[in-house]
Chain A
Amino acid sequence: MTTRGGRLRHTGKVAFAVALATVSMAVGLSLRAGIERDIDRLSARFGSDILVGHSRRSLSDAVLDGYRDTDGVRAVAATGSSSEIHVQGEDYELTWLRTTPNILRVLQLELAQGTGWLDGSSGVILGRQVAEAVFGDGDPIGQEIEGFPVIGVLALVPSDDRLREFYNRRILLLQDPHESFVPNMDPGMGASLRNEAKWRSVYVQADGRLPGVVEALSAMSDSVAWHEAVGYYELDFYADRLLHNVLIIAALGLFLMAAVLTATLISLSGIQRTQEIGVRRALGGTRRRIVWLFVGEAMVTGSLGCLAGSATAAVLIVWMADAACWSWLHLLILPGVIGLSLLASIGPAMAAARHPPHEAMRRRSLFGAEAGGRSGLRAMVGGSIAVAVGSLVLVSALIASSRTYVDTMWGAIDDRLLLVEAPEEAILAGPDLRAVDEDRLRTVMGVDEVVPFMVRTLGVGETAVAVGEAYPELRLFHLASGRDMTADDFHEQEAACLLSRSYVERNGLGDGVGKEISVRGQSFTVVGVFEDGSVRQVIAADIVIPWSCRRLFGIGTVRFFAHVSEHADATSVTEEILTLFRGLYPDRADVSVSQVNAGSVKWAALFTAAAVRLGLLGVIALVLAVGESMALARFLLALQQRDLGIARALGARSRRVYYVAVSVCAKELLVGAVVGGLLGWLAVPALMHWFIVLEPPCGWLSFAIAAGVAIAMLGFSLLSATGMAARSPAVLLARR
């Protein structure tokens, strides 16, 4: 039997392994829960139960009533088209929006001041920017704007909330601004109504499954295109879900490694105590009682390890509060570990208790006597090592791929690309930018390329953009097939265009290249197809046509991409551009210059943070694999201790201990490492292709890791052998 100290050390090893497993599981779950929390927050911000419908025709109140009566619909709100009205004597236009009272509730628009529409009151609610532009620091509540009393001011909507941020620049009212203003205003003095104010957009809050509600609403009218509101944030979700999947797979790999290694150690612990089981049975303990005693001990050891691991994990989770959070799944860890301990210990305990007591007492371990038994032990240890190697390969592959992805992403992001524009929906409005401003921009020191562009929505889900000739230089589109448009396409009026891959797929255009499409009556030949829906997409467009064809769009807003030379300072260039345009257009104070890839920079930063999280998981995996592999190596060697004592007593030199250490561990290590490496080599690429879009790293990584683990374990064996070699043969013989 082992000594008390030996037993305690062994119990400590098992508890340590369980603690490491618990830490890995808990932290993996926390990181995953952290991503879920971020998604939930994003989702909660605009409502995951909201549908948005955009109509090609005006919708009547009767149609809205029909939507309200549809199964699964909790509330309906609608808005008309915006109407911009120049206020006499002022240098700004006000953008009015007819809406329904419950728009505030459905879109979760909060009032910062005032009471809103109570009991059908006829006042207006101002967006935050309108309130600031018109009333400055004064209190707008109770004041009048164009004859309407101000009854509320919206809280500022963050600029990254694409669904609702334009409400910052709107005046909400319950009646048609067209009817209110046209009769009273002198058209010659500036009343400008760009659109009729009918119901154009509908927001539906659903209480059932969104796809079912969409189906029911679509059946009522085919003129409305319905989208889930989360679709507005598709790219955000794309990035978050990618990270989510990466972390789930990493946590799964860690869990597998931890579970198998812990189960092996608990099993080995039971196997080692076969002799003790024999003694207890000889003294009158029944088989069942002794089995449950050992299982109970394993469960207590597992629970203690789990509690220690949980405490460590709790500290880590609190420390990583920004990235990680608690999940109800954490509650399953302790029962899981207890169940695992039970499963891992009951087999060896039953096997040991099945032997007659006198036979169990004679054995040093369950596998001590029979060749078949030793094979079982070797299979168990080899299998554990294979799982450890396979899991390490998985986590390492995720880390390597994420790093590559992040590096590629940063490499693709051009943070010197600026967007120069005058917002269409401005409060402080002036003349739009013009095509001739391209030449003025080129005069700014530090600007090395300028590309004008104009965007026009042609229909629901169909956006076209006309771009200047130099657009390929700025890598605005990432071609999937075909080619970019050339100088000939621009100067010789060749009707060429690029299409987005999703447009090609939506319209069944095959591979797209060479096909003919029609834009507002003009025919275009598709010369290239670009990737869309990726975080690297700069312009959200479906069709790209030459700048010379922009006349098809009619009057539109001209914007520019300006690229800053590597030798210039982007901030100074930005200032110079602003100075230039504010000089050219004194009323146009809201001309803005922004970094085009700011969104991509944000995503790249998100991925970089995820890669750091993965690195943390990798460290945990490594500690787990090292700690538990060491325990396995020591266990294998300990089984040989008495035989080594005999060999030493018969004249073997101490260096034989090292030889035995290497030879005993070699088979299990090699088989385990090779099998684990093969598993990783075969399974990891498939896993990464199926569940996440990251490219798997080079296949040789698997074998490099396998070789690393094998070498490390041989090192541990030799380290353990050092202590054994220092003992006298008598001490080795005395140990059982």
Chain B
Amino acid sequence: MIELRALHKTYETGTVRVEALRGIDLAVGEGEFLEIKGPSGSGKSTLLNMIGLLDEPTSGQVVLNGHLTEGLGDAARSRLRNRTIGFVFQRFNLIAQMNVWKNVALPCRYAGVGRAERRERALRALARVGLSDRAQHLPAQLSGGEEQRAAIARSLVMEPRLILADEPTGNLDTESGREVMGWFAHAHDGGTTVIVVTHDPIVDPYVQRRIRLRDGRLQADGR
């Protein structure tokens, strides 16, 4: 599903140079449930950004679903991201002025799906996370747990083969966190590959494989 080859990422701001990733080699198979851990500044989020095609490596290669992403243009990367990956962010990143179902349907819109079908798919995804009654609400009218469920529904709406979650339980209480992980487990049971970047121990029972990063290097990879 995912293959990372000698991945390096260096950020330069003026005279400051930060090596966020220092030669990561990693392969993730279809249907895995993977956890990426590490102290702050170890490169977890950067690695997730590389896998999710949100950023480009300084050197090295990312192969996603059999596609070598190096040299892909904006349109091709956007299309691959849209069709293959579902994102869940720590701060939910719902668009404030859109109601819940429109937020969930946004990836379908970028995929060129018609309005009626977009709505139908969004409502179906909301039903899966138990938020059907909140479809017409605005994000500001939801609790934190509900916002994250809406974000999960958005990540599921295109039925992606990969879900990437950055600290998905970071802003939630324990019960909501467990509920969110339950939805990921449910998706994983359906064959979706799930990668979670987290510090939260409540994630541990759900994952099959754990990766630990330190100073931009792969420190441990175990099941």
Check if A358 is an interface residue, CB within 8 A of chain B.
yes
A1 adjacent to B95 (CB under 8 Å): yes
A282 adjacent to B87 (CB under 8 Å): yes
Which residues of chain A come closer than 8 Å to B82, judged between CB atoms? 283-285
Check if B27 is an interface residue, CB within 8 A of chain A.
no
* CA of A358 to CA of B87, assembled, Å: 11
Nearest CB in chain B: distance from A579 CB, A = 83
Which residues of chain A come closer than 8 Å to B89, judged between CB atoms? 361
B110 adjacent to A356 (CB under 8 Å): no
A284 adjacent to B140 (CB under 8 Å): no
Interface residues of A in 199-225 (CB under 8 A from B): none
Check if B173 is an interface residue, CB within 8 A of chain A.
no
Check if B74 is an interface residue, CB within 8 A of chain A.
yes
Interface residues of B in 66-102 (CB under 8 A from A): 74-75, 78-79, 81-83, 87, 89, 93-97
A359 adjacent to B55 (CB under 8 Å): yes
Our pick among A4, A275, A276 for the contact of B140 (Cβ within 8 Å) is A4
Closest to A11 in B: B97
With a 10 A CB-CB cut-off, give which of A280, A286, A361 has the most chain B CB atoms: A286
A282 adjacent to B96 (CB under 8 Å): no
Given contact pairs A283-B82, A284-B78, A289 touches B96 in the complex (Cβ within 8 A): no
Which residues of chain B come closer than 8 Å to A356, judged between CB atoms? 49, 54-56
B96 adjacent to A3 (CB under 8 Å): yes
Interface residues of A in 267-285 (CB under 8 A from B): 275-276, 279-285
Check if A559 is an interface residue, CB within 8 A of chain B.
no
Interface residues of B in 154-209 (CB under 8 A from A): 154
**Number of residues from B at the complex interface, CB < 8 A:** 27
Residue-by-residue, is B131-151 near A (CB-CB < 8 Å gives 1, otherwise 0)? 000000010100000000000
* CA of A288 to CA of B111, assembled, Å: 14
Interface residues of A in 245-286 (CB under 8 A from B): 275-276, 279-286
Interface of A is mostly: helix
B79 adjacent to A282 (CB under 8 Å): no
Our pick among B45, B83, B140 for the contact of A3 (Cβ within 8 Å) is B140
Nearest CB in chain A: distance from B112 CB, A = 10
With a 10 A CB-CB cut-off, give which of B78, B82, B93, B95 has the most chain A CB atoms: B78
Closest to A6 in B: B96
Check if A32 is an interface residue, CB within 8 A of chain B.
no
B110 adjacent to A358 (CB under 8 Å): no
Check if B107 is an interface residue, CB within 8 A of chain A.
yes
Nearest CB in chain A: distance from B124 CB, A = 18
B81 adjacent to A282 (CB under 8 Å): yes
Which residues of chain B come closer than 8 Å to A280, judged between CB atoms? 95, 106, 110
Q: In which size bucket is the chain A interface?
A: 20 to 34
Given contact pairs A356-B49, A358-B54, A286 touches B78 in the complex (Cβ within 8 A): yes
A7 adjacent to B97 (CB under 8 Å): yes
B96 adjacent to A283 (CB under 8 Å): no
With a 10 A CB-CB cut-off, give which of B45, B75, B93 has the most chain A CB atoms: B93
Check if A594 is an interface residue, CB within 8 A of chain B.
no
Residue-by-residue, is A283-305 near B (CB-CB < 8 Å gives 1, otherwise 0)? 11111110000000000000000
Check if A8 is an interface residue, CB within 8 A of chain B.
yes
Given contact pairs A4-B97, A4-B138, A361-B89, A284 touches B81 in the complex (Cβ within 8 A): yes
Which residues of chain A come closer than 8 Å to B54, judged between CB atoms? 282, 356-358
Check if A375 is an interface residue, CB within 8 A of chain B.
no
With a 10 A CB-CB cut-off, give which of A283, A286, A356 has the most chain B CB atoms: A283
Given contact pairs A284-B82, A286-B74, A358 touches B49 in the complex (Cβ within 8 A): yes
B110 adjacent to A282 (CB under 8 Å): no
Check if B38 is an interface residue, CB within 8 A of chain A.
no
Residue-by-residue, is A1-30 near B (CB-CB < 8 Å gives 1, otherwise 0)? 111101110000000000000000000000
Check if B52 is an interface residue, CB within 8 A of chain A.
yes
* CA of A267 to CA of B106, assembled, Å: 24
A281 adjacent to B78 (CB under 8 Å): yes
Interface residues of A (CB under 8 A from B): 1-4, 6-8, 275-276, 279-289, 356-359, 361
8 closest residue pairs by CB, A with B? A284-B82, A284-B110, A358-B54, A4-B97, A286-B78, A356-B55, A358-B49, A279-B93
Interface residues of B (CB under 8 A from A): 45, 49, 52, 54-56, 74-75, 78-79, 81-83, 87, 89, 93-97, 106-107, 110-111, 138, 140, 154
Can you report 29 residue pairs joining A to B where beta carbons are below 8 Å apart? A1-B93, A1-B95, A3-B140, A4-B96, A4-B97, A4-B138, A4-B140, A7-B96, A276-B95, A279-B93, A280-B95, A280-B106, A282-B52, A282-B93, A283-B106, A284-B79, A284-B81, A284-B82, A284-B83, A285-B78, A285-B110, A286-B75, A287-B74, A288-B74, A356-B49, A357-B55, A358-B49, A358-B54, A358-B55
